[in-house]
Amino acid sequence: MKNPLKILGKTICTAYDRVCGTLSRIDSWQRKGVKVAPLSAESHECLNCHTTFTGNFCPRCGQSAGVSRFTFKHAINKTLEVWGLGNRSLPRTLWHLICRPGYMIGDYLDGRQAPYFPPIKMLFLVTTAFVVTQHIVAPGAMDGIYTDATISLSDKKLDIPNGEEAYKGKRIFIEGMNNFIDVFKNVTDFFRQNQAIELVLSHSLFALIAMRVFRRSPLRPNMNLTECFFSQILIATQLMMVSMACIIATQGSKWIDNMYCMPTWLLLLVMFYDYKQLYGFSLLRTAWFTFKVLAGWWIMMFLLLVVWMALSVAWAAI
């Protein structure tokens, strides 16, 4: 009889090999990206400008060689194109952003832009989808949290003292802080209604920090600010999709500890996944740098608030 331990060992080895094989296949798929359509060798006559050409598109006017008589199939394809199927496909870009985010962003920065949907437009569309989902799944949940926050902020406003204690410095300070609270409330109100603008601005700050933190990356050293900005816009889109999944899964938003509706550990995990694929640092270094980026962002936000408060008080003194 065979030794059962040996059989068990063998089974574990085979299972391990299988898992490794699957993982390496996933990894090579993730790195490869979108395949470009083969070049047509047939000669076509452009139906728009009547130029004869070989290839997929007319070199004179850019019309596709695939344009033919109106058939049912053609009509269906054209209808789907409105929804972003075909080249520059929205669903495909979102799919790649979920499955191989860092590599996809890398592709985009390297100039492989034709297969993907334009990033800023996509962020606005996904944010709109997020707002709609929020209204359907958890109507009023965010409003409740927001109203509570505004009330507790208003409670922090102090009366400007008169009489005995009303020396000038104290009065000016309280007046300045009250002004700050009013303006702050208006600004948060605006951003709440224009979430995509909020994301673009806050990710500009992320871009600045990421440019500094990842400047010596093995895959993409010395990325410039615009490249970092576009990579952050794509990351923001991906984070909005994860937020949407979180809202659907939890029937509302339990987490408001960051600007997305997801716990901060998940935010860090998603950013870690993106940065690992995009910059190619080791796992440990990527983890440390991801933490640095988020911590840097919080510190910058805190400093901006302090400067804003100081300016409000200074303004009250004038």
Chain mean position to CA 252: 20
For Zn ion, the closer of residues 48 and 154 by Cβ is: 48
Q: Which is nearer to Zn ion, 58 or 262 (CB)?
A: 58
Q: How far is the CB of 63 from Zn ion (least distance, A)?
A: 5
Give me the least distance between CB of 108 and Zn ion, in Å please. 28
The Cα-based distances of 301 to 21, 196, 217 in angstroms read: 44, 18, 25
Only segment of 60-68, 85-93, 106-114, 286-294 that touches Zn ion (CB under 5 A): 60-68
Residue selected from 14, 22, 43, 48 as contacting Zn ion according to rule CB under 5 A: 48
Cα(144)–Cα(150) distance, rounded to whole angstroms? 10
Contact between 49 and Zn ion (CB under 5 A)?
A: yes
Burial letters 117-152, b for 16+ CB under 10 A, else e: bebeebbbbbbeebbebbeebbeebbeeeeeeeeee
* Interatomic CA distance for residues 306 and 295, integer angstroms: 17
Contact flag: residue 65 with Zn ion (CB under 5 A):
no
46 scored as a contact of Zn ion (CB under 5 A): yes
| Residue in the structure block whose two tokens are 């509302």 | 252
Distance in angstroms (rounded) separating the CA atoms of residues 222 and 224? 6
- Stated as kind and residue range, the H or E segment containing 44 is strand 43-45
> Which range of residues in 55-63, 154-162, 166-174, 205-213 is near Zn ion by CB under 5 A?
55-63
Check residue 61 for interaction with Zn ion (CB under 5 A): yes
Residue count at the site for Zn ion (CB under 5 A)?
Answer: 8
Complex with Zn ion: residue 50 or 135, whichever CB lies closer: 50
Out of 60, 78, 135, 212, which residue is the one contacting Zn ion (CB under 5 A)?
A: 60
| Letter string b/e over residues 239-258, b meaning 16 or more CB atoms within 10 A of that residue's CB | bbbbbbebbeeeebbebeeb
φ, ψ (nearest 5 deg) of residue 53: -150, 160
Among 58, 233, 239, 259, binds Zn ion (CB under 5 A): 58
58 or 267: whose CB is closer to Zn ion?
58
Q: How far is the CB of 57 from Zn ion (least distance, A)?
A: 8
Q: Which residues bind Zn ion (CB under 5 A)?
A: 46, 48-49, 51, 58, 60-61, 63
